Amino acid sequence: AQSVTQPDIHITVSEGASLELRCNYSYGATPYLFWYVQSPGQGLQLLLKYFSGDTLVQGIKGFEAEFKRSQSSFNLRKPSVHWSDAAEYFCAVGPYGGNEKLTFGTGTRLTIIP
């Protein structure tokens, strides 16, 4: 069965500092991987996705993620966070073309301190 683990429930970083959110997955075939962000009172917004090609993918808002097959990881990074990045971040995995089979992680809540 497929699964997603986000080991960090809550992370606090200072504004301007770098950020890395961890995501580990279990999937029996080639995974289709996503990062979504949910701001308070909002739905989920797609940050980036990966299925094939360059393992370092660029997303919106200055985020990037690196796919490492050997580690079954898809960690999200940002070199310098802004106060507006405070939100909940979800990693998801599924088959290509099979959105009804997506599995979401439990999320990482990001707090930014001045």
Partner 1 sequence: SAVISQKPSRDICQRGTSLTIQCQVDSQVTMMFWYRQQPGQSLTLIATANQGSEATYESGFVIDKFPISRPNLTFSTLTVSNMSPEDSSIYLCSVEETADSPLHFGNGTRLTVT
Question: Is residue 107 near partner 1 by the rule CB under 8 A?
Answer: yes
Least CB distance to partner 1 at residue 33 (A): 10
- The β-bridge relationship of strands 19-21 and 73-78 is antiparallel
Least CB distance to partner 1 at residue 91 (A): 10
Considering only 15-23, 33-41, 52-60, 69-77, which stretch makes contact with partner 1 by CB under 8 A? 33-41
Our CB check for partner 1 shows the closer of 33 and 112 to be 33
User: Which parts of 68-97 interact with partner 1 (CB under 8 A)?
Assistant: 90, 96-97
**What does residue 83 show for φ and ψ, rounded to 5 degrees?**
-55, -30
**Radius of gyration for the chain, computed over Cα atoms and rounded to the nearest angstrom:** 13
Question: Is residue 44 near partner 1 by the rule CB under 8 A?
Answer: yes
Question: Is residue 42 near partner 1 by the rule CB under 8 A?
Answer: yes
**What does residue 62 show for φ and ψ, rounded to 5 degrees?**
80, 10
**What does residue 71 show for φ and ψ, rounded to 5 degrees?**
-105, 0
Identify which of 87, 66, 74, 88 has the alpha carbon closest to the alpha carbon of residue 5. Answer: 74
Enumerate binding residues for partner 1 (CB under 8 A): 34, 36, 41-46, 49, 90, 96-97, 99-100, 102, 104-107
